[in-house]
Structure 1
Amino acid sequence: MKIFSQFKTLITFIVLLSLSLCTKAQHIDLLELRVFKKVVSSADYLAKVKITNVEIFREEDESEKHVYSAEVLATYKGKSHKRLSYEMFVEQGEDIVFNSASIYVALCLDENGTYYWPGTGSEFKPSLVIDAWLTENKSNVEKVSTNVGWCE
């Protein structure tokens, strides 16, 4: 009987822990979606891409310009492209992290027509929450005007 009681206690603990982890995961997903929605209104361009190449150029001020080349899988905001390149300025020696996984990028467009990465928080891994929201809101995302400030 004692073993059965301990087993019930263990099962109850596992169930409660699972529910707690699910709730935490849902909270993280909703927080990420909230940030993603803000980015949509802050960027000139939003697309799901697969990075294919990165070139590094050293600048005179000891920074580096990374030029990312990507295959565009879907465009949500801005002009549609099959291939895209964009610039990112970073500190010299900063690691380049990319693989074959697709990502969402929110980019700005300068007066010369060059796309650039505005900074941290403008790249997202696909998730069920973001994918579902984009599917439901694709036509609205295309029409969202860009807030002044982020892409200046």
Structure 2
Amino acid sequence: MELDGFRKAVNSADYLAKVKIIKVESFQEVDGSQRHVFTADVVTTYKGSTHKQISYEMFVERGEDVMCNSAPIYLALCKSLNGSYYWPGTGSEFKPTPVINAWINENRVSLKLARTPAGWCD
């Protein structure tokens, strides 16, 4: 089950990496939503451009909690037309597990070459 969700995220997003979140900044938007800007150290990039550190935006409804801990996670992101990264929604963050780690190791080369079909980032 967890692997199905992970594979869907990999196929639906522009970028996949194992990251460690180091900072979150929150901003109140005019429309009442909240914008969170995450900064993370990149442990390993599996799909998309390679970075040492990445920032991405998450928009949520006002008052919605954002969880952040320092444990590394797998993160699937979309890339906007202006080149910035954004969180596509629930189901794009995964804790490392033996099943996911094994799948990543088996598919590492094909992930780098994979093109993203129409998915979450359109």
**Aligned counterpart, 2:96:** 126
**Aligned counterpart, 1:66:** 36
Once the two structures are superposed, the pairs formed by residues 3-152 of structure 1 within 5 Å of their partners are 31-152=1-122
Equivalent pairs: percent with the same residue?
Answer: 60
Counterpart code for 1:116: Y
Q: Does the aligned pair in 1 maintain the 2:21–2:69 contact within 8 Å?
A: yes
SS in 1 for 2:115: coil
How far off its partner does 1:95 sit? 1.2
Structure 2 vs 1, CA of residues 76 and 56 (structure 1 numbering), >3 Å: closer, same or farther? same
How far off its partner does 1:147 sit? 1.6
- Which structure has the higher relative contact order (CA within 8 Å, separation 6+)? 2
Q: Does the aligned pair in 1 maintain the 2:13–2:119 contact within 8 Å?
A: no
Paired residues, what number?
122
How far off its partner does 1:149 sit? 3.2
Counterpart code for 1:35: G
Counterpart code for 1:146: T
**Aligned counterpart, 1:8:** none
Q: Which runs of 5+ in 1 are unaligned?
A: 1-30
**TM-score, normalisation: structure 2:** 0.97
Q: Does the aligned pair in 2 maintain the 1:40–1:144 contact within 8 Å?
A: no
How far off its partner does 1:69 sit? 0.3
